C-alpha cells in the first residue's frame, strides 16, 4: 500500500478552487458539471481554511482535494457543502479520498463552523459520520436524489428549507442567492 501524500488546507497552500480545476478534470472528466451538487457550487464561495488538499511535491501539483463551500439553508441558517472529493485517477481506491474527507470534517469541527451537508454515496459517507437528511426537509433548485442528500449530525443544526449558496458580491460582502 502506498503512503498517502501530506494533506493541508487550501488556505495554507494558497490555492483557490480554480487552482484545482486540472485535478477536477483528471478525476471526473467533463461529466463533473452534470453532478447535482455542481449546480450549488457554481458561483459559491470556497472556504479555503476548511478545504483540504493532498499535495505532491514531486509533481508540483495537487493529487487530491476535498472542498468545502459556504452555503445556507433558508430555514436553518449557515451551512457548509462538502464536495467534490477528487483524487488523481492512479491514486483512487487507496484511502486518500477518505483521508481528505476526514481532514475536512476535523477542520470543520475544530473551527465550530456549522452544519455540514453533501450530495453523495451513502455507502461511502455513512462510515464517516454522515446520515440522510430527513425526507422533505431540504430542497434544491435542481434535481438531486433525496437518498443521496446527507448531513453530519453533530456538526450543527439539521439543514432545513431550501439550500442556498453564498457568493462574493462585487463590494466584497457575502450575498445569499
**Grid cell 470534517 — which residue?**
105
- pLDDT score recorded for residue 41: 55
Residue 1 belongs to some domain of the structure: no
2 domain-assigned: no
**171: pLDDT confidence band, cut at 50, 70 and 90?**
very low
At residue 170, the pLDDT reads: 33
Q: String of b and e for 131-146 (b: at least 16 CB within 10 Å)?
A: eebeeebbebeeebee
pLDDT for position 68 = 93
Decide if 77 is inside a domain: yes
Predicted model pTM: 0.84
The pLDDT score that the predictor gives to residue 79 is 84
pLDDT of residue 31: 67
> Which pLDDT belongs to residue 161?
84
Residue 37 in this model has a pLDDT that exceeds 60:
no
DSSP 113-145: --EEEEES-HHHHGGGT-EEPPTTSEE-SS---
- Chain-centroid distance of CA 51 in Å reads 7
In 14-128, alpha helices (H):
21-28, 38-41, 96-111, 122-125
Average pLDDT on 24-41 reads 67
Residues 40 and 85: beta-carbon distance below 8 Å: no
Q: Examine residue 24 and state whether it is found in any structural domain, yes or no.
A: yes
User: Which residues face 73 on adjacent strands?
Assistant: 77, 163
Q: Is 51 inside a domain boundary?
A: yes
CATH of the domain at 59: 3.40.630.30
pLDDT score, position 76: 67
pLDDT the model gives residue 13: 92
What's the pLDDT score for residue 10? 92
Query: Is residue 169 situated within a structural domain?
Result: yes
Q: What is the residue range of 55's domain?
A: 7-176
- How many structural domains does the chain have? 1
Q: Are 141 and 59 in contact (CB under 8 A)?
A: no
> What is the predicted pLDDT for the residue at 2?
74
Which pLDDT does position 35 carry in this prediction? 57
Calculate the average pLDDT of the chain: 82
Half-sphere exposure of 113 (CA within 13 A, CB side): 25
Amino acid at each position: 500500500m502506498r503512503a498517502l501524500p501530506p494533506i493541508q488546507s487550501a488556505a495554507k497552500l494558497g490555492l483557490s478552487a480554480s487552482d484545482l480545476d486540472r485535478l477536477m478534470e483528471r478525476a471526473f472528466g467533463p461529466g463533473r458539471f452534470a453532478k447535482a451538487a455542481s449546480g450549488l457550487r457554481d458561483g459559491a464561495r470556497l472556504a479555503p481554511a476548511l478545504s483540504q488538499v493532498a499535495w505532491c511535491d514531486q509533481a508540483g501539483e495537487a493529487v487530491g482535494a476535498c472542498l468545502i463551500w459556504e452555503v445556507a439553508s433558508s430555514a436553518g441558517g449557515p451551512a457548509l457543502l462538502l464536495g467534490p472529493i477528487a483524487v488523481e485517477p492512479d491514486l483512487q481506491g487507496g484511502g486518500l479520498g477518505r483521508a481528505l474527507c476526514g481532514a475536512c470534517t476535523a477542520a470543520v469541527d475544530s473551527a465550530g463552523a456549522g452544519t455540514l451537508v453533501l450530495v453523495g454515496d451513502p455507502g461511502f459517507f455513512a462510515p464517516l459520520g454522515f446520515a440522510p437528511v430527513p425526507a422533505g426537509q431540504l430542497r434544491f433548485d435542481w434535481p438531486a436524489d433525496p437518498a443521496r442528500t446527507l448531513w453530519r449530525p453533530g456538526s450543527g443544526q439539521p439543514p432545513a428549507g431550501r439550500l442556498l449558496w453564498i457568493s462574493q458580491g462585487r463590494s466584497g460582502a457575502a450575498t445569499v442567492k
